[in-house]
Amino acid sequence: MTITEMAERILAGDRRALARAITLVESGRADHRAQATELLETLRPCGRQGLRIGLSGTPGVGKSTFIESFGMMLTALGLRVAVLAVDPSSARSGGSILGDKTRMERLSRDKNAFIRPSPSQSHLGGVARRTREAVALCEASGFDVILIETVGVGQSETVVAEISDLFNLLMAPAGGDELQGVKRGIMEIADMILVNKADGELKPVATRTQADYAGALRLLRKRPQDPEGFPKAMSVSALEENGLSTAWEEMQTLTNWRREQGHFDRRRAEQARYWFEEEVRQTLLAQLTTPGPVKDRMQALGGQVATGQTTPSAAAQEILKTLGMESG
């Protein structure tokens, strides 16, 4: 299949072409990279846009249950839903594979849903690019909503927040002490906190937890991209499918407001700029750390610096020269 054919099929909503294209953007091979770049350039003018919803939470909080129920609700509304995952491999060993279809059986059989498990790539920078490009492919393919799932560990949440239009945190019902363990930085990037498992015996705890989060969110500095009442804490039951349509309504309210106020487009523009700069940074860094002449030179010069044969800045200048860069 040529790149032009692949692009045409993606635009026509062909799922197999979409899956193949995502495999292409995941590949580390130089020729695949060139093809992926060409494909994305070909699709760029189509101008299709989906709503990108990030979802994070610790293993066991109910992410797959939520994505399945929420996804089914959206497809029942006539929307096409894609599910992608950002999975830092360090977190992989213990838990299940994110975006694994067996975790979302009903949704994976839905013809209006597309689920893509996370690739086994170790480097978060590479995962970020792959996910960003997979999002673009899903949008070109006509998906209305793109759910991007990650586990609540470290950097992956920031990556997902920088790819999403909306970022949701899924939390478990918890006591007050556990609440304080939630990192402030994570709270600051959340648009909605959804306290899951608000059913059965856990319901009263979930309601209290929701109130606690709502209180904590009110203490944060107001962000220009939020209308009155946001960020918001809500309780839901992914299992009993309660509160999901309300959550969706709130997401739409927030999105519509941001669109009207220009925040939506502005945010996407900032994200594009961020990823461009990040890619330059990562590519430069990769030159220093991947085996090759530059890395060898780093090692050799590092030894000279350590033994006082040269100064750190003189050695640094030399590396920059090797990279073909003039220093300021």
**Which residues contact ligand GDP by CB under 6 A?**
57, 59-65, 196-197, 199-200, 237-239
Whether 272 and 232 have beta carbons less than 8 Å apart is answered as no
The minimum distance between CB 124 and ligand GDP, in angstroms, equals: 20
Please say which residue, 25 or 107, places its beta carbon nearer to ligand GDP.
Answer: 107
> Within the chain, what is the greatest distance between any pair of CA atoms?
71
Question: Toward ligand GDP, which CB reaches closer, 46 or 205?
Answer: 205
Cβ 168 to ligand GDP, closest distance in Å? 13
Q: For ligand GDP, which is the closer residue by CB, 45 or 60?
A: 60
For the CB of residue 287, give the shortest distance to ligand GDP in the complex, in Å. Answer: 37
Q: Which is nearer to ligand GDP, 35 or 156 (CB)?
A: 156
Q: Which residue is nearest to ligand GDP, using beta carbons? A: 62
Least CB distance to ligand GDP at residue 246 (A):
14
Nearer to ligand GDP, 8 or 241 (CB): 241
Nearer to ligand GDP, 75 or 196 (CB): 196
Q: How far apart are CA 90 and CA 21, in angstroms?
A: 26
Name the minimum Å distance from CB 236 to ligand GDP: 7
Tell me how far, at minimum, the Cβ of 81 lies from ligand GDP, in Å. Answer: 17
**Which residue, 9 or 63, is less far from ligand GDP as judged by CB?**
63
* Least distance CB 104 / ligand GDP (angstroms): 9
Q: Is the dihedral of CA 258, 115, 133, 88 positive or negative?
A: positive
